[in-house]
């Protein structure tokens, strides 16, 4: 039997977010880090998620990597393919949501897909094509201050049209609430003149209706919420046996660390909260760039303090400070400095016997996990919606929690560490 859902995620937290929802929906899910060199046995899998770090790459490179992932997935003749991006539609001015969607459509010989970032359980909803984060429009939610992908427009038709090749329409809430048949009709009508349909979504019931209406679409695009609707559609068609598939993860001994490179509103609260009861060390891109501090200083500090409990390293800063740092170093350079430093730090900590990693931030997780070089992640129980406990498979099992910028509540770091015991 072929794989039902072949997924390409544009960052690492997004990939575990999606895998976590698929597993919770009862699908046996394999999560891969990058595109494997050869085929693997997926006969026991209902879904496969390939994690890329393509969200902020130049568009041409993001296209190349995403199409390579699709080509690899196509050997399993998946029922549907799924391009997973952020529930806050994080993208640079040039993309990559638009250009990658276009390239995937072309590759599959398709001419129409949906745009569905909604994740109601985490407060992301779409109404009249406008994206809300809890009570706020996207551009007033804090996402306007993202270091790499500031989102300054909540109108998804406009954002998508500015990046993509074709016309963008909307299937409004009134139609969505009338059920799958009416939504399907709306898709058929829109597809005559448009290439993408933003779908209004306020609840999981809407996602179920949308999932059913998408049954004939080969490519879907969205946040992790859409997976709930797609899984329900497969389940209703009797295509898989539903059961809780979250894996039993290994019991792992060894020290844990928290590492935060996210500067989101929620991560700032989580970092502040964790600092109240744990030792921490700040990572300053300006000091790294000037040579005022070096990796060795951090490792010495870690060696001196690892017995006090779990320590945290963080680059997390306020929007004002980030702007100042970027003004000196440049936007991309500042991120690159932080990400490279964190990747080196984690590699060194891994060599010092750290086996549990709680990481905040999508780009940050990508840099760090790439440095640790697992090929696969086993998805365990959910710590918070969209953030599972995961195990890096390999000679020595290690546990990770990859937290998307705004996910989890203020006590997330403590909760994740508790679940790693
Ligand atoms: N103090 C800082 N100055 C400049 N850039 C920073 C700083 N701290 C973090 N960054 C960068 O900001 C980006 C945050 O993105 P990411 O890790 O994806 O977080 P989120 O999940 O909140 O989107 C990363 O590239 C990170 O390296
Ligand atoms: O869809 C989401 O919100 C997440 O899965 C995600 O992609 C978040 O990205 P980061 O905030 O960059 O971690």
Neighbour-count burial for 133-154, b at 16+ CB within 10 Å, e otherwise: beeebbbebbbebbbbbebebb
Burial class of residue 89, CB neighbours in 10 A (0-12, 13-18, 19+) = buried
Token reading at 323: 């702007």
Q: What is the per-residue pLDDT for 352?
A: 96
- The half-sphere exposure of 238 on its side-chain side, counting CA atoms within 13 A, is 0
Q: Is the CB of 262 under 6 A from ligand 1?
A: yes
Map tokens 């270091």 to a residue.
Answer: 147
Q: Is the CB of 17 under 6 A from ligand 2?
A: yes
Question: Residue 379 Cα, ligand 1 centroid: separation in angstroms?
Answer: 25
Q: Is the CB of 339 under 6 A from ligand 1?
A: yes
Provide the whole-model pTM.
Answer: 0.95
Q: List the residue whose alpha carbon is closest to atom 3 of ligand 2.
A: 87
Give 362-409 pLDDT, tens digit per residue.
999 999 999 998 888 999 999 999 999 999 987 789 999 999 999 999
Beta carbons of 103 and 240 less than 8 angstroms apart: no
Q: Is the CB of 263 under 6 A from ligand 1?
A: yes
Give 301-325 pLDDT, tens digit per residue.
999 999 999 999 999 999 999 999 9
**The pLDDT of residue 1 is above 60:** no
Q: Is the CB of 408 under 6 A from ligand 1?
A: no
**The pLDDT of residue 300 is above 90:** yes
Q: What is the DSSP letter of 25?
A: T
Question: Beta 29-33 vs 136-137: how paired, if at all?
Answer: unpaired
Instruction: From the CA of 149, give the closest atom in ligand 1.
Output: 23
* Mean pLDDT on 246-264: 93
Q: What is the per-residue pLDDT for 403?
A: 97
Instruction: From the CA of 283, give the closest atom in ligand 1.
Output: 1
Q: List the residue whose alpha carbon is closest to atom 5 of ligand 2.
A: 14
The confidence band for 326, taking pLDDT boundaries of 50, 70 and 90, is very high
Strands (E), 223-375: 255-260, 280-282, 311-314, 354-360
The confidence band for 116, taking pLDDT boundaries of 50, 70 and 90, is very high
Q: Is the CB of 147 under 6 A from ligand 1?
A: yes
Q: What is the per-residue pLDDT for 224?
A: 98
CATH architecture for segment(s) 5-236: 3-Layer(aba) Sandwich (3.40)
Q: What is the per-residue pLDDT for 84?
A: 98
Q: Is the CB of 223 under 6 A from ligand 2?
A: yes
Question: Residue 173 Cα, ligand 1 centroid: separation in angstroms?
Answer: 34
- Residue to mutate, 259, 287, 335, ligand 1, most ligand atoms under 8 Å from C-beta: 335
- Residue to mutate, 405, 406, 408, ligand 2, most ligand atoms under 8 Å from C-beta: 405
**Of the ligands numbered here, which is closest to the C-alpha atom of 84?**
2
Q: Is the CB of 122 under 6 A from ligand 1?
A: no
Which residue ranges does the chain devote to CATH 3.40.980.20?
A: 255-419
Q: What are phi and psi of 417, to 5 degrees?
A: -65, -40
* Dist CA 178 CA 209 (whole Å): 9
Question: Residue 87 Cα, ligand 2 centroid: separation in angstroms?
Answer: 6
* Dist CA 56 CA 79 (whole Å): 29
Residue 164 Cα distances to 84, 95, 103, 126, 362, angstroms: 16, 8, 10, 19, 23
The strands making up 136-137's β-sheet, listed across from edge to edge, are 124-127, 130-133, 136-137
Residue 324 Cα distances to 257, 263, 320, 350, angstroms: 28, 14, 6, 32
* Dist CA 5 CA 136 (whole Å): 32
- Residue to mutate, 12, 16, 55, 87, ligand 2, most ligand atoms under 8 Å from C-beta: 87
Q: What is the per-residue pLDDT for 213?
A: 98
Give 257-269 pLDDT, tens digit per residue.
999 999 999 999 9
Question: Residue 83 Cα, ligand 2 centroid: separation in angstroms?
Answer: 13
- The half-sphere exposure of 64 on its side-chain side, counting CA atoms within 13 A, is 5
* Dist CA 391 CA 365 (whole Å): 14
Q: What is the CATH number of domain 255-419?
A: 3.40.980.20
Token reading at 367: 């840099």
* Dist CA 220 CA 32 (whole Å): 19
Instruction: From the CA of 329, give the closest atom in ligand 1.
Output: 4
Question: Residue 343 Cα, ligand 1 centroid: separation in angstroms?
Answer: 13
Give 119-133 pLDDT, tens digit per residue.
999 999 999 999 999
Give 4-63 pLDDT, tens digit per residue.
999 999 999 999 999 999 999 999 999 999 999 999 999 889 999 999 999 999 999 999
**Within a 10 A sphere around the Cβ of 267, how many other Cβ atoms?**
25
Which residue ranges does the chain devote to CATH 3.40.50.10840?
A: 5-236
Q: What value does the mean pLDDT of the chain take?
A: 96
The confidence band for 168, taking pLDDT boundaries of 50, 70 and 90, is very high
ipTM exceeding 0.90, yes/no: yes
- Residue to mutate, 7, 10, 11, ligand 2, most ligand atoms under 8 Å from C-beta: 11
Give ∠ CA 194-156-5 in degrees, rounded to 5.
70
Q: What is the per-residue pLDDT for 46?
A: 94
* Dist CA 280 CA 294 (whole Å): 16
* pLDDT more than 90, % of the chain: 94
Element (H, E) at 241: none
Q: What is the per-residue pLDDT for 240?
A: 84
């Amino acid at each position: 039997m072929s794989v039902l859902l072949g997924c390409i995620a544009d960052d690492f937290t997004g990939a575990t977010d999606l895998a976590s929802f698929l597993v919770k929906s009862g699908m046996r899910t394999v999560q891969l880090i990058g595109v494997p060199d050869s085929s693997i046995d997926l006969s026991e899998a209902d879904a496969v998620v390939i994690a890329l770090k393509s969200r902020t790459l130049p568009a041409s490179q993001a296209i190349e990597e995403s199409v390579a992932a699709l080509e690899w997935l196509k050997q399993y003749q998946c029922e549907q393919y799924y391009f997973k991006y952020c529930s806050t539609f994080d993208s640079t001015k040039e993309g990559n949501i638009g250009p990658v969607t276009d390239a995937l459509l072309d590759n599959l010989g398709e001419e129409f897909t949906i745009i569905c970032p909604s994740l109601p359980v985490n407060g992301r909803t779409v109404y009249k094509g406008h994206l809300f984060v809890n009570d706020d429009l996207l551009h007033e939610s804090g996402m306007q201050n993202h270091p790499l992908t500031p989102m300054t427009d909540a109108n998804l038709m406009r954002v998508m049209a500015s990046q993509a090749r074709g016309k963008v329409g909307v299937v409004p809430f009134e139609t969505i609430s009338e059920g799958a048949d009416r939504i399907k009709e709306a898709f058929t009508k829109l597809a005559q003149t448009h290439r993408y349909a933003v779908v209004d979504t306020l609840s999981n019931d809407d996602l179920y209706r949308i999932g059913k209406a998408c049954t004939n679409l080969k490519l879907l695009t969205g946040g992790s919420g859409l997976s709930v609707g797609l899984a329900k559609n497969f389940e209703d068609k009797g295509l898989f046996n539903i059961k809780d598939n979250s894996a039993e993860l290994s019991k792992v001994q060894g020290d844990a660390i928290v590492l935060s490179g996210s500067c989101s509103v929620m991560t700032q609260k989580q970092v502040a909260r964790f600092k109240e009861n744990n030792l921490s060390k700040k990572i300053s891109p300006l000091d790294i760039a000037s040579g005022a501090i070096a990796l060795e200083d951090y490792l010495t500090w870690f060696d001196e303090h690892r017995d006090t409990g779990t320590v945290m390293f963080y680059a997390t800063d306020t929007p004002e400070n980030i702007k100042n740092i970027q003004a000196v170093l440049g936007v991309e350079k500042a991120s690159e400095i932080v990400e490279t430093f964190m990747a080196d730090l984690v590699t060194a900590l891994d060599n010092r016997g750290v086996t549990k990693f709680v990481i905040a931030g999508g780009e940050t997780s990508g840099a760090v996990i790439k440095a640790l070089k697992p090929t696969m992640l086993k998805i365990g129980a959910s710590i918070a919606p969209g953030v599972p406990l995961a195990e890096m498979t390999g000679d020595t099992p290690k546990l990770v929690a990859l937290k998307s910028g705004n996910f989890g509540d203020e006590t997330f770091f403590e909760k994740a560490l508790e679940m790693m015991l």
